[in-house]
């Protein structure tokens, strides 16, 4: 045993002696002739590992004896640590993702909460979609919804006015009117079908008031109009994205006597897209009420309960005669002219036909809705899509800020209903990156996770630079004391620290923390005051503190 | 496979690889910049010529080489070299920030990082990239002509910047004072194995020990010289990559991580390789000392050393401070301070 130690000691001394002579020995190689240095492109290609094997051998022989080229290579490597371009970051992300297969066997205590939340939030999102989709269905049960109406036979009975949004409308707010028009077009085609005596040219006049482009409203109305067309003609106009516009234009074309501003040129076939005289007649009755200056009044608009799918697209979306549309809706809301007690607008600039007054229930709805103008006026706020989109971000997919530790009692109380909790781990989107820490200045971020992966961002997380990690163990916790000093701890006793923000060094863990088999615990927490003082917490809650940068540890 | 002596002249090259050039031109999207196909073909030929020089290269080999190039970058460089405006707009838009970032990193690595200097360093390249007309000649000589598509354009630009920076530093080294140079040299060698040397406990002071040993053993210098020779021979037998690794570690004093990034390997791999090389060198030197050396270069054969002498040789080498200013100076002049014997 002693002789073995002596031999080892002797070998170390000999290697040390050689190390001291190594510089001179390597310098002597220079005299053999370094040859011409490679140009920048060859150095760049070597750096990218894109040289042929024979070239690599040749130039590595040169690099071994050429300090200038080695220095250039070193500088080139240093520049590679600058912030990466977005495409490079994306590529790096793909590589990281590809090199970190999902692990299914080892539960990660830190990300428990997130793992549990992920499927729950997924279910919540599905529920949100379902709930958001319900009103149209419910409306369809009570009265035809926009989409269903488009498919409904013309002989369908008139819709129930109780479920209908009845509103005062403003000629001064085209976007509101466009909304109501959309509702009308969507919800009441059958009613329109029952409204005789409305000439097509009047309808076209209403359309001519629209001006501007069509948004969702136009599309919705296009759907309705498509439903009213003959199948063949619908095919001719089957582009849904432009259906609203083409519909509006079609109406425009059918209104040669319209007093409204001149519409854009119309395709010749489009006027034929209004084959039903009932539809044309229905709107015509409201046509005389179309004001020349739709913004001259300031009346409130009430969105219908059944109009969540209709977004008020603002002034740019009002593609069809606004006032006329609103009136269309009102007419449709009271088929057969049953509601003749419409309240007159406060100050109509032009003779306007009085819209029918809503029924008591409808008035209540109208009042309630009018108290929430964003619902009826903000684009997207009444959209079902908004509901879904707001729910999804709760699932954090980029980091583990929602992560945390669960104790045993919490684990037992998890509503697993007999399911294997480990199966939930597969759903964890934050498994690759378990730790993200920010320096007190907020300028620098580090994130770390599986396989010893450590990345640093100097631009608030927009781009990340992969750093060389001193350990392949999973990092479970970390802390950033300053822009240059940071600590990471992880599985199997892994501890690392950087004091310059770039180079991580492995710190020896407290040996007393090892169990009888020599296995070190997983560190699940760390706090640090500076590069020397830190306290680490093991998975069994034991704590150790160092005052000398990890050279010695003391149990707490 | 038909072998050709070298890359053919441009006309023959275009005729030989006409279809390939057409395909490569399309792949490179050279039309975006209005780059003519014959100009692109010229760049391809220049690249192939540089790769193979006067060596024989088969058509298939050349074809595979041309296909392996960074074609889009080559087309962009070619178009910029031609001075095409669209190409320059694209280049400025996509590479300016990258150049500045590289310049920042370079300056920061040398401890002189500030934004203005970084911009100056990066922007100093543009004139040469655009090309300057040599006196008396009408044609611009653009730096882009030295790009042959073997690497990404961005990496090439960084390498050019690094090259400029290092050359500038080396030029400035010529003015370093002797004292500084002495210090650097001593540091360079003594810190060749940074961690080990720092933990060294058995050498009180090399110079002091050397002086003591000098008086004790007249064969000291001979042993050291033989050990140096054996070490040089062992290093010369290493693979080029291993020699490069040793140079990075012992001469440039790079960290394992830095060496790993330079060589494209993980630092743990570098560490293992370094351990292995050290062990092999130790064994090779020890065996050489035991064996002795045959006669060469006018010197007679060197007999082998015994175990005690080998141990002594290593001890002398360990205690000997490789750099001795007086000795170094005496090499160029008369022996003011005679070499130790």
Give the DSSP letter string of A83-135.
Answer: PPPHHHHHHHHHHHHHHSPPP-SS--STBHHHHHHHHHHHHHHHHHHHHHHHH
At B47-56, the pLDDT tens digits run 888 888 767 7
Residues A350 and A490 in one domain: no
Query: Which 3 state secondary structure label does DSSP give A524?
Result: strand
Task: Note the pLDDT tens digit of each residue in A261-306.
Answer: 333 333 333 333 333 434 333 433 443 443 443 443 344 333 334 3
Give the CATH number, domain containing residue A472: 2.130.10.10
Closest CA to A172 of A349, A335, A14, A426: A349
Q: Which residue has the tokens 């501890």?
A: A495
Compute the average pLDDT of residues A32-45: 81
Structure tokens at A151: 């498919």
Is the residue at A547 inside a domain? yes
Which pair of structure tokens corresponds to residue A403?
């992560």
Q: Which two tokens stand for residue B279?
A: 């062990």
Does residue A8 form part of some domain? no
Same-domain pairing of A63 and A90: no
Query: Nearest to residue A169, comparing CAs of A159, A177, A157?
Result: A177
Whether residue A121 is contained in a domain is answered as: no
Q: How far apart are CA B257 and CA B268, in angstroms?
A: 8
Range of the domain at A501: 86-100+432-555
C-alpha radius of gyration, chain A, whole number:
37
**Confidence bin at A97 (pLDDT 50/70/90):** low
Residue of A nearest to B244 (CA): A64
| Residue A138 in domain | no
Q: In chain B, pLDDT over 70 holds for what percent of residues?
A: 72
Element (H, E) at A22: helix A2-29
Most B CBs within 10 Å, among A7, A10, A11, A16, to test the B interface:
A16
ipTM of this complex: 0.77
Give contacts of A77 with chain B, Cβ < 8 Å.
258, 261-262
Say whether both A242 and A367 belong to one domain: yes
Tell me if chain A has a CB within 8 Å of the CB of B167.
yes
Distance in angstroms (rounded) separating the CA atoms of residues B114 and B312: 52
pLDDT of residue B95: 87
In angstroms, the CA A311 to CA A317 distance is 10
- Same domain for A59 and A186? no
| B311 close contact with A: CB closer than 8 A | yes
Domain count, chain A: 3
CA–CA separation, A510 and A535 (whole Å): 11
Q: Are A501 and A483 in contact (CB under 8 A)?
A: yes
Confidence band (pLDDT; 50, 70, 90) for A442? confident
Interface check A50 vs B, CB under 8 A: yes
Same domain, A249 and A212: yes
Domains in chain B, start-ordered, CATH in brackets? 10-70 (no CATH), 82-173 (1.10.1740), 196-332 (1.10.10.10)
Q: pTM of this prediction?
A: 0.43
The pLDDT tens digits of the residues spanning A487-518 come to: 999 888 899 999 888 888 889 888 888 887 78
Whether residue A334 sits in one domain with residue A248: yes
Q: With respect to residue A49, please indicate whether it lies within any of the assigned structural domains.
A: yes
pLDDT of residue B276: 93
Which among B147, B155, B282 is the nearest to A11, CB-wise? B282
Q: Which tokens go with B270?
A: 């570098």
Highest mean pLDDT among A328-337, A443-452, B146-155: B146-155
Is residue A370 located within the same domain as residue A460? no
Q: Are A160 and A304 in contact (CB under 8 A)?
A: no
How does residue A150 score in pLDDT terms, banded at 50, 70 and 90?
very low
Tell whether B207 lies on the interface with A, counting CB pairs under 8 A.
no
The confidence band for A136, taking pLDDT boundaries of 50, 70 and 90, is low
Considering the domain architecture, whether residues A188 and A268 belong to the same structural domain is answered as yes
Q: Does A65 score more than 80 pLDDT?
A: yes
Give the model confidence (pLDDT) of B131-149 as tens digits.
Answer: 776 655 566 778 898 999 9
A333-342, A443-452, B288-297 — which one is most confidently predicted on average? A443-452
Strand order in the sheet with A486-490: A475-480, A486-490, A495-498, A504-506
Q: Please return the burial class of B72, using the count of CB atoms within 10 Å of its CB with bins 0-12, 13-18 and 19+.
A: middle
Assess whether A357 and A458 both reside in one domain.
no
| pLDDT-derived band at B120, boundaries 50, 70, 90 | confident
Residue-wise pLDDT tens digits, A511-543: 888 887 788 888 888 989 888 899 998 888 888
Same domain? For A380 and A456 the reply is: no
Q: Percentage helix, strand, coil, to 5, in chain B? A: 70, 0, 30
Q: Is B241 on the interface with A (CB under 8 A)?
A: yes
Structure tokens that stand for A363 in this block: 């008035």
Rounded CA-CA distance A207/A248 in Å is 6
Put simply, the answer to whether A20 touches B228 (Cβ < 8 Å) is: no
% of chain A surpassing 70 pLDDT: 38
Looking up tokens 């000997």 gives B320
In the three-class reduction of DSSP (H, G, I as helix; E, B as strand; rest coil), residue B253 is classed as coil
In a domain, A158, yes or no: yes
In chain A, pLDDT over 90 holds for what percent of residues?
Answer: 3
| One-character DSSP codes across B149-216 | SSS-HHHHHHHHHHHHHHHHHHHHHTT--HHHHHHHHHHHHHTTSHHHHHT--S-S-HHHHHHHHHHH
Q: For the packed helices A243-253 and A216-228, what is the interaxial angle rounded to 10 degrees?
A: 70
| Residue A305 counted as domain residue | yes
Angle subtended by helix axes B59-68 and B18-27, to nearest 10: 10
Is residue A232, in this structure, part of any structural domain at all? yes
* A99 contacts chain B (CB < 8 A): no
Query: When comparing pLDDT for A34 and B83, which is higher?
Result: B83
Q: What is the pLDDT of residue B76?
A: 92
Residue B235 near chain A (CB below 8 Å): yes
Cα distance between residue A190 and residue A157, in whole Å: 7
A192 falls in which pLDDT band (50, 70, 90)? Answer: very low
Mean pLDDT of chain A, nearest integer = 60
Is residue B110 scored above 70 in pLDDT? no
Q: Å from B194 to nearest chain A CA?
A: 10
Chain A, chain B: beta-carbon pairs less than 8 Å apart: 214
Nearest CA in chain A to B94: A85
Which residues does chain B have within 8 Å of residue A23's beta carbon, measured at their own beta carbons?
188-189, 192, 250-251, 322
Same domain, yes or no, for A178 and A297? Answer: yes
pLDDT tens string B314-338: 888 877 655 444 444 444 443 333 3
Same domain, A190 and A172: yes
Beta bridge partners of A506: A496
- Residues B336 and A31: beta-carbon distance below 8 Å: no
* Among candidate residues B253, B328, B193, the one with its CA nearest the CA of residue A21: B193
C-alpha torsion angle, residues A5, A9, A12, A13 (rounded to 10):
-160
Point out the domain boundary residue: A364, A388, A412. A388
Distance from CA of B192 to the nearest CA of A (A): 6
Question: Using CB atoms within 10 A of its CB, is residue B199 exposed (0-12), middle (13-18) or buried (19+)?
Answer: exposed
> In the predicted model, what is the mean pLDDT of residues A23-33?
68
């Amino acid at each position: 045993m002693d002789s073995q130690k002596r031999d080892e000691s002797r070998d170390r001394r000999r290697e040390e002696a050689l190390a001291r002579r190594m510089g001179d020995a390597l310098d002597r190689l220079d005299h053999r002739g370094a040859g011409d240095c490679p140009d920048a492109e060859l150095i760049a290609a070597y750096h990218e590992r894109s040289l042929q094997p024979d070239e690599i051998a040749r130039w590595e022989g040169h690099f071994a004896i050429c300090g200038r080229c080695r220095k250039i290579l070193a500088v080139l490597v240093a520049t590679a640590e600058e912030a990466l371009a977005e495409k490079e970051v994306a590529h790096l992300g793909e590589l990281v993702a590809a090199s970190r297969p999902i692990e299914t066997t080892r539960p990660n205590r830190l990300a428990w909460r997130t793992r549990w939340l992920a499927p729950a939030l997924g279910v919540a999102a599905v529920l949100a979609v379902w709930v958001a989709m319900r009103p149209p269905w419910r409306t369809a049960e009570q009265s035809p919804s926009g989409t269903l109406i488009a498919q409904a036979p013309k002989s369908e009975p008139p819709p129930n006015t109780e479920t209908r949004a009845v509103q005062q409308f403003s000629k001064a707010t085209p976007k509101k009117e466009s909304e109501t028009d959309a509702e009308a077009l969507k919800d009441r085609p059958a009613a329109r079908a029952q409204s005789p005596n409305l000439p097509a040219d009047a309808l076209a006049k209403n359309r001519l008031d629209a001006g501007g482009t069509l948004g969702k409203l136009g599309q919705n109305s296009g759907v309705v109009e498509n439903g009213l067309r003959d199948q063949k003609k619908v095919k001719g106009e089957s582009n849904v994205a432009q259906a609203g516009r083409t519909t509006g234009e079609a109406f425009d074309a059918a209104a040669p006597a319209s007093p409204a501003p001149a519409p854009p040129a119309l395709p010749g076939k489009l006027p034929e897209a209004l084959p039903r005289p009932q539809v044309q007649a229905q709107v015509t009755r409201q046509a005389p009420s179309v004001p020349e200056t739709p913004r001259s009044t300031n009346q409130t608009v009430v969105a219908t309960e059944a109009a969540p799918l209709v977004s008020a697209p603002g002034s740019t979306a009002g593609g069809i005669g606004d006032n006329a549309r609103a009136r269309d809706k009102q007419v449709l809301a009271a088929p057969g002219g049953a509601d003749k007690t419409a309240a007159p607008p406060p100050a109509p600039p032009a003779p306007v036909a009085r819209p029918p007054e809503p029924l008591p229930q409808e008035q209540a709805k109208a009042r309630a809705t009018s108290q929430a103008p964003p619902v009826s006026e903000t684009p997207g706020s009444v959209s079902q899509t908004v509901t879904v989109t707001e729910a999804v971000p709760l699932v954090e997919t980029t980091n583990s800020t929602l992560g945390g530790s669960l104790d045993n009692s919490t684990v037992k109380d998890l509503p697993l209903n007999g399911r294997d909790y480990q199966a939930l781990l597969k759903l964890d989107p934050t498994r690759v990156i378990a730790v993200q820490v920010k320096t007190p200045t907020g300028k620098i971020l580090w994130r770390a996770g599986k396989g010893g992966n450590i990345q640093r961002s100097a631009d608030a997380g927009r781009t990340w630079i992969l750093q060389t990690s001193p350990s392949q163990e999973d990092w479970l916790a970390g802390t950033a004391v300053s822009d240059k000093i940071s600590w990471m701890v992880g599985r199997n006793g892994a501890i690392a620290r950087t004091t310059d923000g770039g180079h991580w060094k492995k710190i020896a863990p407290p040996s007393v923390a090892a169990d009888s088999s020599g296995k070190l615990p997983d560190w699940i927490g760390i706090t640090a005051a500076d590069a020397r003082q830190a306290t680490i917490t093991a998975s069994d809650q034991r704590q150790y503190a160092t005052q000398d940068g990890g050279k010695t540890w003391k149990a707490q | 496979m038909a072998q050709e002596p070298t890359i053919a002249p441009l006309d023959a090259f275009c005729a030989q690889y006409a279809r390939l050039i057409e395909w490569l031109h399309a792949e490179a999207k050279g039309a975006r910049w209005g780059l003519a196909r014959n100009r692109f073909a010229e760049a391809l030929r220049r690249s192939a010529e540089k790769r193979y020089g006067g060596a024989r290269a088969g058509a298939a080999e050349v074809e595979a080489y041309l296909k392996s190039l960074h074609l889009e970058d080559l087309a962009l460089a070619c178009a910029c070299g031609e001075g095409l405006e669209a190409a320059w707009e694209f280049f400025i838009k996509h590479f300016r920030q990258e150049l500045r970032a590289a310049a920042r990193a370079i300056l920061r690595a040398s401890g002189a990082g500030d934004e203005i200097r970084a911009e100056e360093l990066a922007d100093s390249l543009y004139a040469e990239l655009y090309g300057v007309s040599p006196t008396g000649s009408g044609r611009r000589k653009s730096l882009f002509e030295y790009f042959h598509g073997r690497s990404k354009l961005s990496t090439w630009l960084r390498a050019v910047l690094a090259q400029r920076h290092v050359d500038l530093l080396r030029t400035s080294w010529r003015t370093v004072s002797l004292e500084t140079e002495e210090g650097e040299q001593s540091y360079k060698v003594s810190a060749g194995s940074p961690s080990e040397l720092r933990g060294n406990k058995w050498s009180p002071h090399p110079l002091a020990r050397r002086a003591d040993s000098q008086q004790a053993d007249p064969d000291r210098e001979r042993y050291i010289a033989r050990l140096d020779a054996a070490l040089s021979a062992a290093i010369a037998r290493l693979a080029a990559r291993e020699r490069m690794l040793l140079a990075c570690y012992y001469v440039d004093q790079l960290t394992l991580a830095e060496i790993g990034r330079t060589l494209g390997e993980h630092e743990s791999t570098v560490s293992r390789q370094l351990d292995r090389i050290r062990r092999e060198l130790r064994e090779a030197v020890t065996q050489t000392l035991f064996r002795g050396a045959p006669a060469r270069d006018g010197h007679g054969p060197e007999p082998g050393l015994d175990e005690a002498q080998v141990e002594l040789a290593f001890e002398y080498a360990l205690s000997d401070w490789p750099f001795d200013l007086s000795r170094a100076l005496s090499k160029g002049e008369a022996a003011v301070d005679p070499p130790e014997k």
